[in-house]
Amino acid sequence: MTVLKHLARGYRVVYAWFWGLVALVFTGLMVSLTIFGPWVVGTGESSAWGLVAGQAPAWFLFTMGIMLATTGLPVAVANGVTRREYTVAAGIFTVVSSVLFGLLILVGHALEILVYRANGIMAALTEPYPAPTLATFGRGVLQHLAFMVTGYLIGLCFYRLRVWWAIAVTPVAMIPVFAGNDQADVTRFGGVWLVLAVACAAGVAAYLLARSVPIRSKKA
Amino acid sequence: MTLGIEVSELRLRFGEVNALDGLSFRLDGGKIYGLLGRNGSGKTTLLSVLAAFRRQTGGQVRIAGAEPFENAAVMRQICLIRESGDVYESDYVRTVLRTAGELRSTWDSEYAQRLAERFNLPPRKTVQSLSRGQKSALGIVLGLASRAPVTMFDESYLGMDAPSRYAFYDELLADYTAHPRTFILSTHLIEEVASLFEEVVIIDRGRLVAHEEADVLRARGVSVTGPVDVVDTFAAGLTVLGEQRLGGTKAVTVYGTLEPEQVRAAKMAGLELGPVSLQDLFVHLTSEAGNR
Amino acid sequence: MSFDERSPIYHQIAEKIKRDILNGDLGADEQVMSTNQYAAFYRINPATAAKGFHQLLDEGYLYKRRGIGMFVSPDARERLRAQRRERFFSDVVGPMVAEARAVGIPLDEIIQHLEIKNKDGGSRDPRD
């Protein structure tokens, strides 16, 4: 619990920065939209928010996963935390982050709908607006989870293994990312389980790598 | 709080190299220990195993009777400060201290604050922008304020200038007196810190060379100087750690305490006896030629 | 003064306090520093310092008052002086005579020198 609190305290600043930046870009788009009309977003895309918050949060969480492994773990062990305690806390933190980011994406959609309606854009859309459903929410959460776990696993690979080994196993370690991007369609029942299974496998692999990892001296 | 530390037949292999090669000793705990060894003797490796930073490849470690590796109850009572520093380089000094406070139940943040001021650590600077001495001082603060029942400093104070090092010695003694616990200080520069140690463990090539009360060790070395053949006759059968020759004169360093009759015999033979400093004794015990 | 690394520190501590008593720097029934103060002042291990003080307690040069501290025994100085007097000829005069013989100083010259010194007041060695 103390480790989880520590992670939450440490990462909330980075998360705030990230979402602040996203909000800034989004606000800019919305403002231009109300001034210049819907063509700003381009044809074929009906949601500006979908553009801004489609891939970026997932890849951001991917890098956060790498940080959790490469900087968080050694510092925690040096402060008397076991690798197991840390991995469990990092796992919970990954789930919490994924859900949180999923919720924020929903909030963005809700705001966008308000702006669209207020400016009569909704009716002018050539493509139908992707309505925020429980399914899109679930899809987002799964995608984030898969990305962050992958980041953690790859970070550990590079921390623990010789660099060439780490590079060699990276394509395999990336599987959850591919699965998370293409298969996390909640409407297709199998997809959900596939992503979950792959993400869990990555989590287990990460724990196996972490549980006996030596905390090396930086010089040696 | 005293946690006994027991190491038996400890081995750690890095590929072809035996960093620890069957090391065994027992520390009662609650004292300030000096861990002495040359560079590459296995000091850092030993401390890293004690702190559960890495797992040994053979033998046993027991701290308070339990294996420390991945043992939450033991690990939270141990703090190892390595010279390289196990902190995140882009973090601010205050973040590093806050992290320790969040993760360590024994942490004393007021004391950390006081120490940080004493060592002039700028809280709003990042670790990577600190000088070597400041980085060492940060390690000192992390180690002392952890108040961990087993606190180990791996040469972490050698990067500091003399006034800061003396400030460290003062703080160490004061805090040890107020909150008795186990300290292990590793070093290869002995003269300055030796008076802080109650016991000394000397290792070389991953093996134990000596484990003694520091004062006992100070009494243990004798230098014998005189004509070559007289010295040779006298030293026959004694443990000779090193010898030097200058013309017809020879000086040998003998390990062990001489009996009164031996002292008398030496004086009768016109030999000169002298004390040996801990540093010299260490050099002799761990030099290539000093194979006992 | 600081302690050297060539002989047991606890022994050096005991010797230093004895010298202070002998010189009168520490008077009868005067309180001595506590072990911890001593350790902090000279930057030495408290257990080592305690061992030095224990030796002096055992030998009766110091005595303890519960909860207050350690004090110089009233007879400490006299006992130390008696002891040093006994050793004076073997420890001081003997080596001096041997050295004088080695460098060729005749005995009368030494005696003459000592008499002059004594007239000057024979103040104690400033090094102490």
Q: Which of A202-216, B114-128, B130-144, B269-283 has the lowest mean pLDDT?
A: B269-283
Q: Using 50, 70 and 90 to split pLDDT, how confident is the model at A78?
A: very high
pLDDT digits (tens, 9 = 90+) for A171-197: 888 877 777 776 555 556 567 788 888
Among B44, B88, B104, beta carbon nearest to A217: B44
The pLDDT of residue A43: 52
Q: Tell me the residue length of chain B.
A: 292
Cα end-to-end span (Å), chain A: 33
User: In the predicted model, is pLDDT for residue B181 greater than 80?
Assistant: yes
Same domain, B193 and B244: no
Q: CB neighbours of B222 closer than 8 A, spacing ≥ 6?
A: B253, B254, B256, B257, B258, B273, B274, B275, B276
Same domain as B111, residue B18 = yes
Contact list in C for residue B176 (CB cut-off 8 A) is 46
* DSSP per position, C42-83: HT--HHHHHHHHHHHHHTTSEEEETTTEEEE-TTHHHHHHHH
Question: Which pLDDT score, from 0 to 100, does residue B134 have?
Answer: 94
Cβ distance of B170 and C40 shorter than 8 Å? yes
Question: Any alpha helices (H) in chain B, and if so which ranges?
Answer: 43-50, 72-75, 93-103, 109-118, 132-146, 162-178, 214-218, 228-235, 260-268, 278-286
pLDDT-derived band at B291, boundaries 50, 70, 90: very low
Tell me: pLDDT of B51 over 90. yes
Q: Are residues B269 and B196 in the same domain?
A: no
In this model, does residue B2 exceed pLDDT 90? Answer: no
- For residues B210 and B238, state if they share a domain: no
- Is the pLDDT reported for residue A118 higher than 90? no
Q: Are residues B108 and B249 in the same domain?
A: no
Residue C107 confidence (pLDDT): 86
Q: What is the mean pLDDT of chain B?
A: 91
Q: Which residues of A touch B (CB under 8 A)?
A: 2-3, 5-6, 9-10, 71, 74-85, 211-212, 214-220
How many other C-beta atoms lie within 10 A of the C-beta of residue B28?
Answer: 13
**What is the rounded average pLDDT of the residues B182-196?**
90
**A75·B77 Cβ contact <8 A:** no
Is B267 part of a structural domain of the chain? yes
Q: How many Å apart are CA C52 and CA C67, to the nearest integer? A: 19
Same domain, B188 and B241: no
Which residue among B163, B189, B216 closes a domain? B216
Provide the pLDDT for residue A185.
Answer: 59
pLDDT > 70? residue A104 = yes
Residues B167 and B250 in one domain: no
Average per-residue pLDDT for chain A? 85
Do residues B227 and B250 touch, judged by C-beta distance below 8 A?
yes
The mean per-residue pLDDT over the stretch A199-212 comes to: 90
Check pLDDT > 90 for residue C92.
no
Under 8 Å between Cβ of B183 and B163:
no
In percent, how much of chain B has pLDDT > 90? 64
Q: Rounded mean pLDDT of chain C?
A: 87
Residues of B in contact with C49 (CB under 8 A): none
Mean pLDDT across C94-105: 86
CA distances from C90 to B142, C83, C86, C93 (A): 55, 12, 8, 6
B70 within a domain of the structure (yes/no): yes
Q: Which of B216, B248, B272 is the last residue of a domain?
A: B216
pLDDT in tens, A163-176: 888 888 888 888 77
Mean pLDDT of the A2-7 span: 94
Same domain membership, residue B190 and residue B68: yes
> For the sheet containing B221-227, what is the strand order?
B239-246, B249-255, B221-227, B272-275
* Total count of residues recorded for chain C: 128
Instruction: Identify whether residues B106 and B229 lie together within a single domain.
Output: no
Do you know the residue count of chain A?
A: 220
User: In this predicted structure, what is the pLDDT of residue A220?
Assistant: 40
- For residue C33, the Cα-to-chain-centroid distance in whole angstroms is 17
In a shared domain, residues B48 and B164: yes
User: Cβ of B114: how many Cβ atoms within 10 Å?
Assistant: 15
Query: Is residue B85 assigned to a domain?
Result: yes
Is A220 in contact with B43 (CB distance < 8 Å)?
no
> What is the residue extent of each domain of chain C?
9-73, 77-119
Query: Could you say which DSSP state residue C91 is in?
Result: I
ipTM (interface pTM):
0.90
How confident is residue B292, by pLDDT bands cut at 50, 70 and 90?
very low
The pLDDT of residue C127: 45
pLDDT number for residue A182: 63
% of chain A beyond a pLDDT of 90: 44
Whether C46 has its CB under 8 Å from any CB of chain B: the answer is: yes
- Residue B180 has what pLDDT? 94
Beta-carbon-side half-sphere exposure of residue A14 (alpha carbons within 13 Å): 15
Better pLDDT: A154 or A36: A154
Domain boundary, last residue among B216, B244, B278: B216
Whether B211 and B237 share a structural domain: no
Interface residue of A12, A68, A79 to substitute, partner B, most B CBs within 10 Å: A79
Residue A86: is its pLDDT beyond 80? yes
Same domain, B141 and B223: no
pLDDT tens digit string along C47-80?
Answer: 999 999 999 999 999 999 988 999 999 999 999 9
Please spell the DSSP secondary structure of B120-168, one letter per residue: T--TTSBGGGS-HHHHHHHHHHHHHHH--SEEEEESTTTTS-HHHHHHH
Number of inter-chain CB pairs under 8 A, A vs B: 78
Q: Residue B92 has what DSSP assignment?
A: B
Residues of chain B with C-beta less than 8 angstroms from the C-beta of A212: 55, 69-70
| Of the partner residues B85, B99, B148, the one whose CB lies closest to the CB of residue A6 | B99
- Cα dihedral A108/A110/A112/A116 (nearest 10): 180
Whichever domain contains B59, its CATH number is 3.40.50.300
pLDDT computed for residue A49 by the predictor: 85
What are A27-72's pLDDT values in tens digits? 988 888 778 766 655 555 678 888 788 889 999 999 999 999 999 9
- Quote the pLDDT of residue A4: 95
pLDDT of A136? 78
Query: How many angstroms separate the CA of residue A166 from the nearest CA in chain B?
Result: 19
Q: Is the Cβ pair B215, C9 closer than 8 Å?
A: yes
Please give the angle made by the CA atoms of A82, A84 and A90, to the nearest 5 degrees.
105
Nearest chain B residue to C41 by CA: give it. Answer: B170
If pLDDT is split at 50, 70 and 90, which confidence band does B46 have?
very high
Q: Any residues with CB less than 8 A from the CB of B47 and at least 6 apart, and which?
A: B35, B80, B82, B152, B154, B184, B186
Q: What is the 3-state secondary structure (H, E, C) of B246-263?
A: ECCEEEEEEECCCCHHHH
For residue B1, pLDDT over 70 is answered with no
Nearest to A3 among B54, B69, B103 (CB): B103
| Residue C123 predicted with pLDDT over 60 | no
Higher confidence at residue A186 or residue B115? B115
Structural domain span for residue B223: 219-286
Mean pLDDT of B46-54: 96
So what's the pLDDT on residue C126? 46
What span, in angstroms and rounded, lies between the C-alpha atoms of A120 and A34? Answer: 9
Mean pLDDT score, B74-96: 92
CATH class of C9-73: mainly alpha
B31 in contact with chain C, both atoms CB, cutoff 8 A: yes
Q: What was the pLDDT predicted at B289? A: 47
Q: Are A109 and A132 in contact (CB under 8 A)?
A: yes
The count of structural domains within chain B is 2
State both tokens at B237.
């059968």
- The answer to whether residue B80 is domain-embedded is yes
Alpha carbon distances (Å) from B250 to A132, B223, B225, B275, B284: 92, 10, 6, 16, 16
Instruction: Find the CATH number of the domain harbouring B252.
Output: 3.30.70.240
* Number of helices and strands in chain B (H, E): 10, 13
In a domain, B68, yes or no: yes
Do residues B220 and B281 touch, judged by C-beta distance below 8 A? yes
The predicted model gives A66-88 an average pLDDT of 95
Check if the beta carbon of residue B100 is closer than 8 Å to that of residue B88: no
Report CA dihedral (B212, B215, B217, B220) to the nearest 10 degrees.
-140
The answer to whether the beta carbons of residues B211 and B25 sit under 8 Å apart is yes
Q: Please report whether residue B292 resides in a domain.
A: no
